[in-house]
Amino acid sequence: MTQMLKNLSALCLAGALAAGSANAQANLTAETASPGNSPHATVLHLAEAAGAAGVANLQVQEGQTLTNSVQNVAQGRTDISAMPLILGFLMQKGRGPYSSLGKEKGAELAANLRALYPYNAGAYGLVVLESEGITSWDQLAGKNVWNGPPRGAALVNARQAIFLAAGLKDGEDYTGHQDNWGQLSQRLVDGSMDAFVFPLTFPSARVTTMQAAGNVVMVSTPKDIFESEAYQKVFNAPGNVPLEVSWNEMGYGEDSGVRLISEDKVYRGIGTAFTEVVNKDMPFETAKGLVAAHIATLDALREKTPFMKNVGLAELDPAKSGFCGMNPVKYHPGAVAAWEEAGYTVPDCAKE
Protein backbone atom coordinates (compact mmCIF):
# COMPACT_ATOMS: atom_id res chain seq x y z
CA MET A 1 0.00 0.00 0.00
CA THR A 2 2.89 2.37 0.84
CA GLN A 3 4.46 1.80 -2.58
CA MET A 4 1.09 2.38 -4.27
CA LEU A 5 0.72 5.70 -2.44
CA LYS A 6 4.24 6.72 -3.49
CA ASN A 7 3.48 5.92 -7.12
CA LEU A 8 0.23 7.85 -6.96
CA SER A 9 2.02 10.84 -5.43
CA ALA A 10 4.65 10.76 -8.17
CA LEU A 11 2.00 10.72 -10.85
CA CYS A 12 0.18 13.65 -9.25
CA LEU A 13 3.42 15.62 -9.00
CA ALA A 14 4.24 14.99 -12.67
CA GLY A 15 0.78 16.20 -13.63
CA ALA A 16 1.14 19.32 -11.53
CA LEU A 17 4.49 20.17 -13.08
CA ALA A 18 3.33 19.78 -16.66
CA ALA A 19 3.12 23.24 -18.20
CA GLY A 20 -0.36 23.65 -19.62
CA SER A 21 -1.00 19.92 -19.68
CA ALA A 22 -4.44 18.48 -20.15
CA ASN A 23 -6.46 17.39 -17.13
CA ALA A 24 -5.91 13.75 -18.00
CA GLN A 25 -2.87 12.33 -19.74
CA ALA A 26 -3.80 11.68 -23.36
CA ASN A 27 -2.94 8.61 -25.39
CA LEU A 28 -1.76 9.80 -28.80
CA THR A 29 -0.40 8.20 -31.95
CA ALA A 30 2.57 9.65 -33.83
CA GLU A 31 4.36 8.85 -37.07
CA THR A 32 7.87 9.76 -38.15
CA ALA A 33 10.66 8.90 -40.57
CA SER A 34 13.35 6.26 -40.13
CA PRO A 35 16.23 6.71 -37.65
CA GLY A 36 19.19 8.89 -38.57
CA ASN A 37 17.67 12.33 -39.01
CA SER A 38 16.01 15.15 -37.10
CA PRO A 39 12.35 14.16 -37.73
CA HIS A 40 12.95 10.81 -36.05
CA ALA A 41 14.97 12.23 -33.16
CA THR A 42 12.52 15.07 -32.57
CA VAL A 43 9.35 12.98 -32.45
CA LEU A 44 10.92 10.35 -30.20
CA HIS A 45 12.15 13.07 -27.87
CA LEU A 46 8.66 14.58 -27.81
CA ALA A 47 7.33 11.20 -26.74
CA GLU A 48 9.79 11.12 -23.83
CA ALA A 49 9.22 14.74 -22.83
CA ALA A 50 5.43 14.57 -23.05
CA GLY A 51 5.35 11.36 -21.06
CA ALA A 52 7.65 12.69 -18.35
CA ALA A 53 5.59 15.89 -18.08
CA GLY A 54 2.35 13.98 -17.77
CA VAL A 55 0.94 15.51 -20.95
CA ALA A 56 0.52 12.45 -23.15
CA ASN A 57 1.62 8.93 -23.91
CA LEU A 58 2.79 8.76 -27.53
CA GLN A 59 2.76 5.54 -29.51
CA VAL A 60 5.30 6.21 -32.26
CA GLN A 61 5.48 4.44 -35.61
CA GLU A 62 8.85 5.07 -37.29
CA GLY A 63 10.09 4.45 -40.83
CA GLN A 64 6.94 5.97 -42.35
CA THR A 65 6.56 7.82 -45.65
CA LEU A 66 5.56 11.23 -44.33
CA THR A 67 3.37 12.03 -47.33
CA ASN A 68 1.01 9.34 -46.07
CA SER A 69 1.49 10.23 -42.40
CA VAL A 70 0.50 13.86 -42.92
CA GLN A 71 -2.64 12.81 -44.76
CA ASN A 72 -3.43 10.51 -41.84
CA VAL A 73 -3.24 13.51 -39.48
CA ALA A 74 -5.41 15.64 -41.76
CA GLN A 75 -8.02 12.87 -41.85
CA GLY A 76 -7.90 12.37 -38.09
CA ARG A 77 -6.43 8.86 -38.21
CA THR A 78 -3.12 9.85 -36.57
CA ASP A 79 -2.58 12.51 -33.92
CA ILE A 80 0.95 13.76 -34.70
CA SER A 81 3.33 13.50 -37.63
CA ALA A 82 6.65 14.93 -38.63
CA MET A 83 5.99 17.05 -41.72
CA PRO A 84 8.17 18.79 -44.30
CA LEU A 85 6.33 22.08 -44.78
CA ILE A 86 6.14 21.63 -48.53
CA LEU A 87 3.53 18.92 -47.96
CA GLY A 88 1.03 21.41 -46.58
CA PHE A 89 1.28 23.43 -49.78
CA LEU A 90 1.11 20.38 -52.06
CA MET A 91 -1.90 19.02 -50.21
CA GLN A 92 -3.69 22.37 -50.34
CA LYS A 93 -3.17 22.57 -54.12
CA GLY A 94 -3.80 18.88 -54.78
CA ARG A 95 -0.42 18.55 -56.47
CA GLY A 96 2.48 16.13 -56.54
CA PRO A 97 1.91 13.19 -54.19
CA TYR A 98 -1.59 14.54 -53.45
CA SER A 99 -2.71 14.91 -57.05
CA SER A 100 -5.15 12.03 -56.63
CA LEU A 101 -7.02 14.08 -54.00
CA GLY A 102 -7.69 16.96 -56.36
CA LYS A 103 -7.57 20.62 -55.38
CA GLU A 104 -10.93 20.77 -53.58
CA LYS A 105 -10.38 17.72 -51.37
CA GLY A 106 -6.72 18.60 -50.88
CA ALA A 107 -7.58 22.10 -49.69
CA GLU A 108 -10.21 20.69 -47.35
CA LEU A 109 -7.69 18.33 -45.76
CA ALA A 110 -4.85 20.88 -45.61
CA ALA A 111 -7.14 23.20 -43.66
CA ASN A 112 -7.12 20.59 -40.88
CA LEU A 113 -3.36 20.83 -40.27
CA ARG A 114 -1.76 22.83 -37.45
CA ALA A 115 1.91 23.07 -36.44
CA LEU A 116 3.51 22.65 -33.03
CA TYR A 117 7.13 23.82 -33.48
CA PRO A 118 9.75 24.32 -36.22
CA TYR A 119 13.02 22.60 -37.11
CA ASN A 120 14.75 21.42 -40.28
CA ALA A 121 16.02 18.15 -41.68
CA GLY A 122 19.32 19.49 -42.91
CA ALA A 123 20.34 20.51 -46.40
CA TYR A 124 20.07 18.49 -49.60
CA GLY A 125 23.48 17.36 -50.68
CA LEU A 126 25.35 15.07 -52.98
CA VAL A 127 27.03 12.18 -51.18
CA VAL A 128 29.23 9.57 -52.84
CA LEU A 129 31.89 7.04 -51.98
CA GLU A 130 35.39 8.36 -52.68
CA SER A 131 35.93 5.36 -54.96
CA GLU A 132 33.23 6.58 -57.38
CA GLY A 133 35.35 9.57 -58.41
CA ILE A 134 32.38 11.98 -58.48
CA THR A 135 33.36 15.46 -57.31
CA SER A 136 30.67 17.71 -58.84
CA TRP A 137 26.93 17.73 -59.45
CA ASP A 138 27.26 17.70 -63.24
CA GLN A 139 29.07 14.36 -63.01
CA LEU A 140 25.75 12.76 -62.10
CA ALA A 141 24.97 12.64 -65.83
CA GLY A 142 24.41 9.04 -66.84
CA LYS A 143 24.63 7.78 -63.25
CA ASN A 144 22.34 5.78 -60.98
CA VAL A 145 21.26 8.20 -58.25
CA TRP A 146 19.23 7.38 -55.13
CA ASN A 147 17.02 10.42 -54.60
CA GLY A 148 14.30 9.59 -52.12
CA PRO A 149 11.21 7.55 -51.30
CA PRO A 150 8.70 6.82 -54.08
CA ARG A 151 6.04 9.36 -53.07
CA GLY A 152 7.67 11.66 -50.55
CA ALA A 153 8.40 15.36 -50.66
CA ALA A 154 12.06 14.38 -50.34
CA LEU A 155 11.97 13.11 -53.92
CA VAL A 156 10.63 16.43 -55.19
CA ASN A 157 13.34 18.33 -53.33
CA ALA A 158 16.18 16.03 -54.37
CA ARG A 159 15.24 16.29 -58.04
CA GLN A 160 15.04 20.05 -57.65
CA ALA A 161 18.45 20.23 -55.98
CA ILE A 162 20.07 18.29 -58.82
CA PHE A 163 18.39 20.36 -61.51
CA LEU A 164 19.34 23.68 -59.93
CA ALA A 165 22.94 22.65 -59.35
CA ALA A 166 23.57 20.95 -62.69
CA GLY A 167 20.54 21.27 -64.97
CA LEU A 168 20.02 17.49 -64.98
CA LYS A 169 16.59 15.85 -65.09
CA ASP A 170 15.62 12.52 -63.58
CA GLY A 171 14.92 9.93 -66.25
CA GLU A 172 16.54 11.99 -68.99
CA ASP A 173 20.04 12.85 -67.81
CA TYR A 174 20.43 10.37 -64.94
CA THR A 175 18.52 7.39 -63.58
CA GLY A 176 16.80 8.12 -60.30
CA HIS A 177 16.09 5.28 -57.89
CA GLN A 178 13.60 5.40 -55.05
CA ASP A 179 13.02 3.22 -51.99
CA ASN A 180 11.32 3.74 -48.66
CA TRP A 181 13.57 5.35 -46.08
CA GLY A 182 13.95 2.07 -44.22
CA GLN A 183 15.81 0.57 -47.21
CA LEU A 184 18.31 3.41 -47.50
CA SER A 185 20.81 1.95 -45.03
CA GLN A 186 21.27 -1.11 -47.23
CA ARG A 187 21.59 1.00 -50.36
CA LEU A 188 24.33 3.10 -48.77
CA VAL A 189 26.67 0.13 -48.48
CA ASP A 190 25.65 -2.42 -51.13
CA GLY A 191 27.27 -0.70 -54.13
CA SER A 192 24.08 -0.57 -56.20
CA MET A 193 24.08 3.25 -56.49
CA ASP A 194 26.66 5.62 -57.95
CA ALA A 195 25.53 8.56 -55.81
CA PHE A 196 22.95 9.74 -53.29
CA VAL A 197 21.07 13.01 -52.95
CA PHE A 198 19.15 13.43 -49.71
CA PRO A 199 18.96 15.86 -46.77
CA LEU A 200 22.10 15.90 -44.65
CA THR A 201 22.31 16.81 -41.01
CA PHE A 202 25.66 17.79 -39.54
CA PRO A 203 27.08 15.33 -38.74
CA SER A 204 24.96 12.76 -40.56
CA ALA A 205 24.22 9.25 -39.30
CA ARG A 206 23.67 8.24 -42.92
CA VAL A 207 27.18 9.31 -43.84
CA THR A 208 28.47 7.27 -40.90
CA THR A 209 26.56 4.25 -42.21
CA MET A 210 28.00 4.79 -45.69
CA GLN A 211 31.54 4.76 -44.28
CA ALA A 212 31.22 1.03 -43.77
CA ALA A 213 31.75 0.81 -47.54
CA GLY A 214 34.63 3.31 -47.72
CA ASN A 215 35.58 6.96 -47.41
CA VAL A 216 32.82 9.45 -48.21
CA VAL A 217 32.73 12.68 -50.23
CA MET A 218 30.10 15.36 -49.58
CA VAL A 219 29.63 17.87 -52.40
CA SER A 220 28.29 21.32 -51.54
CA THR A 221 26.27 23.40 -53.97
CA PRO A 222 28.86 25.74 -55.58
CA LYS A 223 28.78 29.19 -54.01
CA ASP A 224 28.16 31.06 -57.28
CA ILE A 225 25.19 28.82 -58.08
CA PHE A 226 23.81 29.03 -54.54
CA GLU A 227 23.98 32.83 -54.57
CA SER A 228 22.56 33.19 -58.08
CA GLU A 229 19.18 34.82 -58.58
CA ALA A 230 17.73 31.64 -60.02
CA TYR A 231 18.82 29.54 -57.06
CA GLN A 232 17.70 32.08 -54.46
CA LYS A 233 14.21 32.06 -55.95
CA VAL A 234 13.82 28.49 -54.73
CA PHE A 235 13.71 29.82 -51.17
CA ASN A 236 10.46 31.59 -52.00
CA ALA A 237 8.89 28.18 -52.49
CA PRO A 238 7.12 26.66 -49.49
CA GLY A 239 9.25 24.44 -47.31
CA ASN A 240 12.65 25.58 -48.60
CA VAL A 241 15.12 27.42 -46.38
CA PRO A 242 18.77 28.35 -47.07
CA LEU A 243 21.34 26.44 -45.04
CA GLU A 244 25.04 27.20 -44.81
CA VAL A 245 27.28 25.31 -42.38
CA SER A 246 31.04 25.71 -42.10
CA TRP A 247 33.25 22.62 -42.10
CA ASN A 248 34.38 23.17 -38.51
CA GLU A 249 30.74 23.05 -37.36
CA MET A 250 29.82 19.92 -39.31
CA GLY A 251 31.18 17.46 -36.76
CA TYR A 252 33.89 15.76 -38.81
CA GLY A 253 37.60 15.74 -38.11
CA GLU A 254 40.31 15.98 -40.75
CA ASP A 255 40.99 12.24 -40.48
CA SER A 256 37.37 11.16 -40.18
CA GLY A 257 37.11 9.52 -43.59
CA VAL A 258 34.72 12.26 -44.75
CA ARG A 259 35.73 14.97 -47.21
CA LEU A 260 33.83 18.15 -48.13
CA ILE A 261 34.11 19.62 -51.60
CA SER A 262 33.51 23.35 -51.32
CA GLU A 263 35.48 26.35 -52.53
CA ASP A 264 35.52 27.93 -49.05
CA LYS A 265 34.85 25.03 -46.66
CA VAL A 266 31.20 26.00 -46.28
CA TYR A 267 28.45 23.51 -47.03
CA ARG A 268 25.52 25.10 -48.88
CA GLY A 269 22.22 23.60 -49.86
CA ILE A 270 18.45 23.70 -49.89
CA GLY A 271 17.25 23.15 -46.36
CA THR A 272 14.01 21.33 -45.70
CA ALA A 273 11.76 23.10 -43.19
CA PHE A 274 9.89 20.73 -40.88
CA THR A 275 7.34 20.83 -38.13
CA GLU A 276 5.35 18.41 -36.02
CA VAL A 277 1.82 18.68 -37.36
CA VAL A 278 -1.45 17.89 -35.60
CA ASN A 279 -5.12 18.12 -36.48
CA LYS A 280 -6.85 21.44 -35.81
CA ASP A 281 -9.25 19.60 -33.50
CA MET A 282 -6.51 18.64 -31.06
CA PRO A 283 -7.57 20.16 -27.70
CA PHE A 284 -5.93 23.49 -26.88
CA GLU A 285 -4.46 22.23 -23.59
CA THR A 286 -3.02 19.11 -25.21
CA ALA A 287 -1.25 21.08 -27.94
CA LYS A 288 -0.05 23.63 -25.39
CA GLY A 289 1.24 20.92 -23.09
CA LEU A 290 3.12 19.16 -25.89
CA VAL A 291 4.86 22.36 -26.97
CA ALA A 292 5.59 23.41 -23.40
CA ALA A 293 7.26 20.03 -22.82
CA HIS A 294 9.25 20.51 -26.04
CA ILE A 295 10.41 23.99 -25.03
CA ALA A 296 11.31 22.93 -21.50
CA THR A 297 13.58 20.17 -22.80
CA LEU A 298 15.23 21.92 -25.76
CA ASP A 299 18.69 21.64 -24.22
CA ALA A 300 18.23 17.92 -23.71
CA LEU A 301 17.01 17.56 -27.30
CA ARG A 302 20.10 19.37 -28.61
CA GLU A 303 22.23 16.85 -26.73
CA LYS A 304 20.33 13.84 -28.08
CA THR A 305 22.56 13.51 -31.11
CA PRO A 306 25.41 15.67 -32.44
CA PHE A 307 23.36 16.90 -35.40
CA MET A 308 20.47 18.25 -33.33
CA LYS A 309 22.50 21.38 -32.57
CA ASN A 310 22.28 22.35 -36.25
CA VAL A 311 18.60 21.88 -37.11
CA GLY A 312 17.07 25.25 -36.17
CA LEU A 313 15.29 24.28 -32.97
CA ALA A 314 13.16 27.15 -31.63
CA GLU A 315 13.94 29.24 -34.73
CA LEU A 316 10.64 31.08 -35.33
CA ASP A 317 11.92 33.59 -37.90
CA PRO A 318 9.83 32.88 -41.03
CA ALA A 319 12.83 33.21 -43.37
CA LYS A 320 14.70 30.55 -41.43
CA SER A 321 11.80 28.34 -40.36
CA GLY A 322 9.85 28.21 -43.63
CA PHE A 323 6.59 29.51 -42.15
CA CYS A 324 4.37 32.20 -43.71
CA GLY A 325 4.54 33.15 -47.37
CA MET A 326 3.11 30.36 -49.52
CA ASN A 327 3.09 27.93 -46.61
CA PRO A 328 -0.57 27.55 -45.59
CA VAL A 329 0.04 25.76 -42.28
CA LYS A 330 -0.28 27.88 -39.14
CA TYR A 331 0.64 27.11 -35.55
CA HIS A 332 -2.02 25.52 -33.36
CA PRO A 333 -3.42 28.13 -30.91
CA GLY A 334 -2.20 25.99 -28.04
CA ALA A 335 1.28 25.97 -29.52
CA VAL A 336 1.21 29.77 -29.89
CA ALA A 337 0.26 30.10 -26.23
CA ALA A 338 3.11 27.84 -25.13
CA TRP A 339 5.72 29.68 -27.21
CA GLU A 340 4.55 33.10 -26.07
CA GLU A 341 4.39 32.10 -22.41
CA ALA A 342 7.98 30.90 -22.74
CA GLY A 343 9.03 34.36 -23.99
CA TYR A 344 9.24 33.69 -27.74
CA THR A 345 7.69 35.84 -30.46
CA VAL A 346 5.45 33.97 -32.86
CA PRO A 347 5.08 35.88 -36.16
CA ASP A 348 1.54 37.08 -36.75
CA CYS A 349 1.62 35.53 -40.22
CA ALA A 350 2.09 32.10 -38.62
CA LYS A 351 -0.97 32.40 -36.37
CA GLU A 352 -4.58 31.56 -37.21
The 10s digit of each residue's pLDDT in 57-101 is 999 999 898 999 999 999 999 999 999 999 999 999 999 889 999
DSSP per residue over 221-238, as a string? PPHHHHTSHHHHGGGGST
Candidates 3.90.1150.10, 3.40.190.10, 3.30.300.30, 3.90.550.10; correct CATH number of 122-272? 3.40.190.10
For 165-212, how does the pLDDT look when each residue is reduced to its tens digit (9 = 90+)? 999 999 999 999 999 888 999 999 999 999 999 988 888 888 999 999
At 6 the pLDDT is 34
Output the pLDDT for position 141. Answer: 98
What pLDDT sits at residue 17? 38
CATH 3.40.190.10 domain extents, the chain: 13-120+273-350, 122-272
Strands (E), the chain: 26-31, 56-61, 80-84, 113-129, 144-146, 175-177, 195-200, 216-219, 240-246, 258-261, 266-279, 330-331
pTM (predicted TM-score):
0.79
In whole angstroms, what is the distance from residue 32 CA to residue 121 CA?
12
Q: What is the pLDDT of residue 68?
A: 95
Q: Which pLDDT does position 10 carry in this prediction?
A: 36
What per-residue confidence (pLDDT) applies to 24? 54
Per-residue b or e along 226-235, where b marks 16 or more CB atoms closer than 10 Å to that residue's CB: beeeebeebe
Going by their DSSP bridges, the two strands 330-331 and 240-246 should be labelled as: unpaired
Low-confidence spans in the chain with pLDDT less than 70: 1-24, 152
* H/E element, 87: helix 86-93
- What is 13-120+273-350's CATH topology? D-Maltodextrin-Binding Protein; domain 2 (3.40.190)
Contacts for 102 with CB less than 8 Å, ≥ 6 apart: 94
As a whole number of angstroms, the distance between CA 217 and CA 215 comes to: 7
